């Protein structure tokens, strides 16, 4: 359970940094893929979110706007990535 919380916190922190630096679907997708490769994700909701984000640069039909990404994270993890409070 602790590892799952830590993984969620790490993933959300990274997304927040990307949003602050200027949203780019390509950068967000690469971040999700790198996270997937470097972490054992046992949290099913986080796993689904990471999978959803990994494909957003696969073509225009998969691309998410910044607001779509924010809403996806809210729906999956119940976290607002543009809000510093957790």
Tens of pLDDT, residue by residue over 22-58, are: 999 999 999 999 999 999 999 999 999 999 999 999 9
Question: Could you tell me if residue 69 is inside a domain?
Answer: yes
76 Cβ neighbours under 8 A, 6+ residues apart: 45, 46, 48, 49, 52
Question: Could you tell me if residue 85 is inside a domain?
Answer: no
Q: Which domain holds residue 35?
A: 2-77
Question: Could you tell me if residue 37 is inside a domain?
Answer: yes
- pTM for the full model? 0.90
> Which of 82, 85, 86 lies closest to 21 in space, CA to CA?
82
Question: Could you tell me if residue 84 is inside a domain?
Answer: no
Number of domain units in the chain: 1
Question: Could you tell me if residue 38 is inside a domain?
Answer: yes
Confidence of residue 85 (pLDDT cuts 50, 70, 90): very low
Q: How far is CA 81 from CA 27, 59, 60, in A?
A: 16, 24, 23
The pLDDT of residue 72: 97
């Amino acid at each position: 359970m602790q590892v799952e919380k830590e993984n969620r916190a790490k993933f959300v922190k990274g997304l927040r940094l990307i949003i602050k630096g200027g949203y780019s679907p390509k950068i967000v997708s690469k971040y999700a893929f790198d996270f997937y490769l470097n972490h054992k994700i046992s949290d099913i909701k986080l796993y689904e979110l990471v999978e959803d984000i990994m494909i957003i640069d696969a073509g225009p039909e998969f691309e998410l706007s910044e607001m779509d990404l924010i809403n996806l994270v809210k729906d999956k993890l119940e976290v607002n990535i543009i809000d510093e409070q957790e």
